[in-house]
């Protein structure tokens, strides 16, 4: 082959390689963009068949008597309350709010599942003299509900990321609405102790942070929020750090310990595990903030998803606590969570 032809052929090969490299680069998702940092406590409610009756409580009356509307109507322990006047219910606060809204002189139709049998029972709520709220006199356990923490919200797409680990009971799911999220108001925190992780205890508030759950995977839950969440500590978006930008050393964590107040606490990133694939244990962190150690004993259940900030960037989210050393736990890289969020379907 003549030398001039050979040179032209080599130039053509180099051009083709350059074009292929450009196409591959353009095909990669652009992850290094800004998101609104979370820290808010989220109520997480999965699709389930109602709320489980675990006890009865008296409703005090003005004449000094006490009544048990649901029990007297035939409701039994371990019944599953699935609807009130045809409206599905799934968790404790939802039942309380609906009963108080519908309460009055007319009986409510309670749809109950008892084993394989479905029953419709009529019960008239009674107004309690303690708080002037209509009540059925029920203790209810949320069947598939809990508290987690919002990691970030992408204002460009309306997508959110939370929790940082899979909800084990559900396995992996994608592409369908299989639950929803809403605000959680933290009433108190049970502190972690040696061998016993603590937890956030709160009530759900459906007036804000409402959204869908579209994906449950190894790195948490993802979906769409109806409205943009507010974070007074970080009102402006922060850049999501790439995994190789994260360093051992000081960082901060955002979470809620009381009501809906987001607070920032000092932590130390003690170890980083380089990862070629997404996983929920990319970092080991240790709580160094004396306030957080005093109020919660370290990391508690309900802090999963709490965002971690270092050098002005969102670097990760809390995923697990060390049961025998509650001041420490695992965290995942925020970059991996963002990769999941940007792939959510936009039509659900």
The helix or strand, by DSSP H or E, that contains position 9, with its residue range, turns out to be helix 3-27
According to DSSP, the residues that pair with 287 across neighbouring strands are 267
CA–CA separation, 210 vs 213, rounded Å? 10
Q: The tokens of 320 are what?
A: 């697990």
Cα torsion at 174, 158, 346, 207 (round to 10°)? 70
CA distance 217 to 210: 20
**Where in the sequence numbering do the catalytic residues fall?**
165, 289, 304
Q: Hey, is 78 helix, strand or coil?
A: coil
- Residues 147 and 302 sit within 8 Å (Cβ to Cβ): yes
**Rounded Cα–Cα distance for residues 255 and 262 (Å):** 5
Cβ neighbours, 10 Å, residue 283:
26
Residue 77 gets the label, from left (phi > 0), alpha (psi -120 to 50) or beta, of beta
Task: For residues 323 and 313, give the distance between their C-alpha atoms in angstroms, rounded to a whole number.
Answer: 28
Helix (H, G, I), strand (E, B) or coil at 146: strand
Q: Is residue 163 a contact partner of residue 304, using CB atoms and an 8 Å limit?
A: yes
Tell me which residue has tokens 């082959």: 1
Q: Is 330 exposed, middle or buried (0-12, 13-18, 19+ CB in 10 A)?
A: buried
Q: Give bridge partners of residue 307 from the DSSP assignment.
A: 317
Whole-angstrom CA distances from 260 to 55, 65, 209, 256, 304 are 29, 36, 11, 6, 16
């Amino acid at each position: 082959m003549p030398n001039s032809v050979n040179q032209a052929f080599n130039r053509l090969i180099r051009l083709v390689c350059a074009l292929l490299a450009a196409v591959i680069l353009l095909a990669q998702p652009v992850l290094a963009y800004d998101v609104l940092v979370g820290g808010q406590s989220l109520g997480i409610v999965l699709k389930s068949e109602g709320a489980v009756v675990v006890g009865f409580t008296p409703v005090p009356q003005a004449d000094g008597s006490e009544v048990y509307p649901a029990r007297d109507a035939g409701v039994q322990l371990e019944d599953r309350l699935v609807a009130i006047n045809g409206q599905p219910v799934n968790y404790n606060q939802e039942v309380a709010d609906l009963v108080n809204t519908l309460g009055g002189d007319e009986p409510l139709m309670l749809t109950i599942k008892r084993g394989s049998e479905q029953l419709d029972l009529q019960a008239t709520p009674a107004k309690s003299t303690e708080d002037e709220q209509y009540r059925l006199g029920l203790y209810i356990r949320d069947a598939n509900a809990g508290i987690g923490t919002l990691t970030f919200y992408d204002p460009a797409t309306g997508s959110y990321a939370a929790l940082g680990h899979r909800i084990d009971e559900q396995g992996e799911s994608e592409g369908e609405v299989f639950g929803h999220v809403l605000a959680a108001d933290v009433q108190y925190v049970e502190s972690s102790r040696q061998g016993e992780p603590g937890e956030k205890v709160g009530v759900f508030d459906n007036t804000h942070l409402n959204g869908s759950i579209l994906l449950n995977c190894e790195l948490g839950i993802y979906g769409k929020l109806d409205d943009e969440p507010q974070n007074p500590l970080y009102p402006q978006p922060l850049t999501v750090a790439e995994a190789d930008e994260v360093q051992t050393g000081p960082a901060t964590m955002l979470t809620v310990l009381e009501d809906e107040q987001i607070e920032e606490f000092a932590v130390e990133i003690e170890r980083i595990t380089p990862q070629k694939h997404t996983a929920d244990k990319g970092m080991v962190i240790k709580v160094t903030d004396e306030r957080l150690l005093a109020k919660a004993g370290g990391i508690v259940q309900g802090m999963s998803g709490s965002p971690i900030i270092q050098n002005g960037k969102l670097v990760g989210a809390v995923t697990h606590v060390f049961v025998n050393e509650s001041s420490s736990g695992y965290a995942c890289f925020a970059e991996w969570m963002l990769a999941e969020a940007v792939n959510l379907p936009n039509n659900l």
